[in-house]
């Protein structure tokens, strides 16, 4: 079932082909998913060692195929909430403020594609690979960082372009016209989060 999501994630379309008919349904969506780090659910917690050893992580995470994982752009390890976290007062940004920042970034993207004469594209996520290379324009330090990370972590071509898109969006959220090294570093960290946990096993 999960791997059936690969095509709509990539193209925003669901194609059903039968003997004489082929129908494409619009299927653009945003995938938000959560999983435990391992079968016992405790890997990565300070002081915890899985009873089944490192295979507790590798077997469990291996159930998500590489090609599906490659299409998930932002991966974040979320540590367990402790009792003191619950007691301590929260100092979080208000959702309304975040929503405003997102709306501004979306406006920036809409204008970007309009002025480039690209019809039908309103977000960095939906823009073509050739176009994101042209529009993302990382500074030389950022480009070097991306090349080094792509070599070290063996990014697929898809992964490389997706990092560029996430970084461009992070710069948009900053209101920055130039894509800096800092935005690329953050985007790269989101792609390699789950690899860090596997490496720790």
Which whole-number Å values give the CA distances from 170 to 43, 82, 109, in the listed order?
29, 30, 12
For the chain, how big is the Rg over CA atoms in Å? 19
SS (H, E, C) 89-104: CCCCCCHHHHHHHHHH
Cβ nearer to Zn ion, comparing 57 with 145: 57
**Residues within window 161-180 making contact with Zn ion, judged by CB under 5 A:** none
Cβ nearer to Zn ion, comparing 56 with 105: 56
3-state secondary structure of 64: coil
The DSSP output letter for 58 is H
Which structure tokens are listed for 81? 């909430």
Which structure tokens are listed for 191? 């792609």
Cβ nearer to Zn ion, comparing 14 with 40: 40
Which of 5, 9, 14, 40 forms a contact with Zn ion (CB under 5 A)?
Answer: 40
Residue 46 Cβ, how far from Zn ion at the closest point, in Å? Answer: 14
The DSSP output letter for 6 is H
Verify binding: residue 50, Zn ion, rule CB under 5 A.
yes
d(CA 149, CA 141): 12
Q: Which stretch binds Zn ion (CB under 5 A): 12-20, 23-31, 45-53, 191-199?
A: 45-53
**Residues within window 54-113 making contact with Zn ion, judged by CB under 5 A:** 56
Residue 191 Cβ, how far from Zn ion at the closest point, in Å? Answer: 23
Cβ nearer to Zn ion, comparing 56 with 108: 56
d(CA 129, CA 118): 13
Q: Which stretch binds Zn ion (CB under 5 A): 6-14, 35-43, 78-86, 158-166?
A: 35-43
Count of residues that interact with Zn ion, criterion CB under 5 A: 5
Verify binding: residue 197, Zn ion, rule CB under 5 A.
no
Q: Which stretch binds Zn ion (CB under 5 A): 53-61, 71-79, 89-97, 175-183?
A: 53-61
SS (H, E, C) 117-180: CCCCCCCHHHCCHHHHHHHHCECHHHHHHHHHHHHHCCCCHHHHHHHHHHHHHHHHHHCCCCEC
Residue 3 Cβ, how far from Zn ion at the closest point, in Å? Answer: 24
Residue 55 Cβ, how far from Zn ion at the closest point, in Å? Answer: 9
Cβ nearer to Zn ion, comparing 49 with 177: 49
The footprint of Zn ion (CB under 5 A) covers: 38, 40, 43, 50, 56
């Amino acid at each position: 079932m999960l791997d059936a999501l690969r095509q709509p994630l990539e193209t925003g379309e669901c194609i059903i082909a039968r003997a004489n008919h082929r129908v494409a349904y619009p299927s653009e969506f945003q995938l938000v998913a959560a999983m435990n780090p391992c079968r016992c659910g405790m890997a990565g917690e300070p002081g915890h060692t899985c009873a089944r050893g490192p295979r507790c992580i590798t077997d469990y995470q291996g159930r998500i195929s590489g090609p599906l994982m490659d299409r998930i752009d932002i991966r974040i390890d979320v540590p367990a909430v402790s009792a003191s976290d619950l007691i301590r007062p929260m100092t979080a940004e208000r959702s309304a403020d975040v929503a405003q920042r997102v709306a501004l970034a979306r406006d920036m993207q809409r204008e970007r594609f309009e002025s480039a004469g690209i019809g039908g594209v309103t977000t960095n996520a939906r823009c073509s690979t050739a176009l994101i290379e042209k529009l993302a324009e990382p500074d030389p330090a950022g480009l070097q960082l991306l090349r080094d990370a792509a070599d070290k972590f063996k990014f697929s071509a898809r992964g490389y372009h997706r990092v560029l898109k996430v970084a461009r969006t992070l710069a948009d959220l900053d209101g920055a016209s130039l894509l800096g090294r800092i935005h690329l570093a953050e985007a790269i960290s989101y792609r390699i989060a789950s690899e860090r946990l596997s490496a720790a096993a």
